[in-house]
């Protein structure tokens, strides 16, 4: 079983390698927006929620280098907001309502979804577009509905959730390092 999983992981990395140009372009746009004083909002469910939090932490804290903090918010972390919005408006609105409150024109929303069909991430994308934000999807499988809804998509065409999440971790680390390298210490 171990060797079988290792082979599947290597195949997933081959798929990720094909995203190099798109990942670079996404990194460059994130750098540009941060240089303009904009912020990054990130969301997802389950493991993708953890990845959204991980990405925001790398941007706000640091990835590898000592440098100033940059603005990134994981929309998955405030349990009071999540439960209040979920209770009052429904779970489908838990991220969109936060985008409405925190997002501004030219900010970036990063939606993570292993299926590409997370309704609450889709609603966040709609809210972000309504505010003039740029939308990114870090997706898996076929990309689902989100693939065509976002402005830019990084898609790992792999049906197994665990492999997609492994690829997403590589991509968020790449983007964090790209931002850090291009932004420098300031």
Q: What is the CATH number of the domain that holds 33?
A: 3.40.50.10490
Contacts 24+ apart (CB under 8 A), 177-180: 177/63, 177/64, 178/23, 178/24, 178/27, 178/28, 178/30, 178/31, 179/27, 179/30, 179/31, 179/34, 179/59, 179/63, 179/70, 180/62, 180/63, 180/64, 180/65, 180/67
Judge contact between 75 and 124, C-beta under 8 A. yes
Give the model's pLDDT for residue 184. 82
Q: Is residue 5 part of a domain?
A: no
Give the model's pLDDT for residue 15. 95
Spans of the chain below 70 pLDDT: 185-186
Q: How many domains does the chain have?
A: 1
Distance CA 157, CA 179 (A): 25
Q: Which domain holds residue 100?
A: 19-183
Q: Is residue 11 part of a domain?
A: no
- pTM for the structure as a whole: 0.97
């Amino acid at each position: 079983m171990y060797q079988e999983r290792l082979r599947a992981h290597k195949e997933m990395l081959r798929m990720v390698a094909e995203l190099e140009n798109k990942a670079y372009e996404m990194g460059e746009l994130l750098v540009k927006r941060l240089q303009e004083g904009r912020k990054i909002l990130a969301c997802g469910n389950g493991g993708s929620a953890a990845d959204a939090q991980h990405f925001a932490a790398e941007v706000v804290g640091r990835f590898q280098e000592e440098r100033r903090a940059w603005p990134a918010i994981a929309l998955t972390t405030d349990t009071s907001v999540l439960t209040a919005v979920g209770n009052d408006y429904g779970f489908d609105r838990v991220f969109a309502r936060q985008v409405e409150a925190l997002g501004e024109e030219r900010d970036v929303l990063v939606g993570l979804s292993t299926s590409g069909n997370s309704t609450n991430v889709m609603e966040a994308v709609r809210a972000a577009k309504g505010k003039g934000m740029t939308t990114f999807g870090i997706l898996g499988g076929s990309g689902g509905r989100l693939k065509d809804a976002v402005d830019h998509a990084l898609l790992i065409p792999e049906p197994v959730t665990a492999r997609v999440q492994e690829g997403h971790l590589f991509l968020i680390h790449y983007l964090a390092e790209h931002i850090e390298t291009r932004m420098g210490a300031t």
